[in-house]
């Protein structure tokens, strides 16, 4: 009587182990490749996020800048620029001596509290804005509630007849703005208050050895907006009539736009490179507050 064989022979076991090893090695290789690819793409996405974040944060300031006279200073290496950024708008009511009375539209309180007044600008007869800076005396360099509000709201001769506006519980203001001399502002011309805002690429406080994009409101807060950036990140500039940006800055009075050359790095090193991934994004922003031609 024959016995039924149970189990496997040694040869069968060896063959099974070899097949399992081959399949396991192939699976491990695929898994390793996919993990490396995922880490690489994550690193690239991280670098893109750094560049896009910087772009989004700067656009609101740059697009509000007037088309000439609103750039205070830039550096030849393209790492720094200071601009005059409007934060409140209104109309001129009257000018008397060194005091200009203005009627301003309602504004969000948070926006006002985050801004630092550095002067005002009114639209002149040529369509451009004339920038007026307050006296250095600390008691005269901030807007104050007007002592002659009737020059804005009154209906008499020489009064602007501007109605006060209220929106969503916010009311406009009538303010007196001081200057070193007569401003020359004409009644009923547009006016805005501005602050001095600086953008710069300099050493990051979060990622040593790399650059960060810094925003500074003169007299206010300084923030590192985004990081890390490569040493080649910089600003380039457009002058009147330019189709391409310039590495060497033109005269600040002739700057009409900025190209943001954002060479961003990922926060973590890529598994396929010795260092982190680099992504270059270039975005041009032309000043939108353009005069009439």
DSSP string, 78-95: SSEEEEEEEEEEEEEEEE
Residue 223's nearest CA partner among 195, 241, 200 is 200
**pLDDT tens sequence across 42-90:** 665 666 677 777 778 788 899 888 887 899 999 999 999 999 999 999 9
Query: Rounded to two decimals, what is the model's pTM?
Result: 0.79
Please report whether residue 61 resides in a domain.
yes
Q: For residue 197, what is the enclosing H or E element?
A: strand 190-203
Where is the domain boundary, 166, 195, 224? 195
Residues 178 and 103: their CA atoms lie apart, in Å, by: 14
Residue 162, in any domain of the structure: yes
Burial 156-185 (b: 16+ CB within 10 A, else e): eeebbebeeeeeeeeebbbbbbbbeeebeb
Cβ atoms 282, 55 nearer than 8 A: no
Give Cβ neighbours of residue 213 (< 8 Å, ≥ 6 apart): 54, 199, 200, 201, 224, 225, 226, 227, 229, 233
In a domain, 108, yes or no: yes
Domain count, the chain: 2
Residue 183 lies in a domain: yes
- Helix (H) or strand (E) holding 74, with range, is strand 71-74
Q: Do residues 76 and 88 share a domain?
A: no
| Pair (98, 88) in one structural domain | yes
Whether 24 is covered by a domain: the verdict is: no
140-190 pLDDT per residue, tens: 788 999 999 999 999 888 888 887 777 777 888 999 999 988 899 999 999
Quick count: other Cβ atoms within 10 Å of Cβ 202? 13
Query: Is residue 279 scored above 80 in pLDDT?
Result: yes
The answer to whether residue 147 is domain-embedded is: yes
Taking residues 20-47, report their average pLDDT: 73
Which residue segment(s) compose the domain that 218 sits in? Answer: 42-82+196-286
Place of tokens 């409101």: 217
How high is the pLDDT of residue 293?
43
């Amino acid at each position: 009587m024959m016995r039924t064989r149970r189990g496997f022979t040694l040869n069968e076991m060896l063959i099974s182990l070899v097949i399992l090893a081959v399949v396991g090695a192939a699976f491990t290789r695929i898994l390793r490749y996919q993990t490396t690819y995922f880490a690489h793409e994550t690193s690239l996405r991280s670098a893109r996020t750094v560049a896009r974040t910087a772009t989004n944060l700067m656009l609101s300031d740059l697009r509000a800048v007037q088309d000439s006279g609103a750039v205070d200073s830039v550096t030849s290496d393209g790492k720094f620029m200071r601009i005059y950024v409007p934060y409140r708008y209104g109309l001129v009511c009257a000018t008397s001596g060194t005091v200009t009375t203005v009627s301003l539209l309602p504004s969000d309180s948070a926006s006002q509290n985050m801004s630092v007044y550095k002067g005002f600008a009114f639209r002149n007869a040529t369509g451009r804005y004339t920038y007026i800076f307050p006296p250095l005396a600390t008691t005269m360099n901030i807007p104050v509630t007007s002592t002659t509000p009737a020059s804005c709201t009154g209906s008499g001769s020489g009064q602007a007849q501007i109605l006060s506006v209220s929106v969503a519980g916010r009311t406009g203001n009538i303010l007196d703005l001081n200057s070193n001399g007569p401003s020359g502002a004409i009644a009923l011309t547009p006016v805005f208050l501005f602050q001095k805002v600086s953008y710069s690429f300099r050493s990051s406080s979060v990622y040593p050895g790399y650059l960060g994009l810094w925003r500074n409101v003169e007299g206010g807060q300084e923030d590192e907006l985004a990081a890390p950036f490569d040493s080649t990140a910089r600003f380039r500039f457009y002058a009147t009539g330019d189709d391409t940006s310039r590495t060497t800055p033109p005269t600040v009075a002739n700057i009409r736009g900025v190209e943001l050359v954002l060479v961003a790095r990922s926060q973590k090193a890529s598994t396929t490179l010795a260092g982190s991934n680099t992504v270059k994004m270039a975005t041009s922003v032309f000043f939108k507050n353009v005069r009439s031609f």
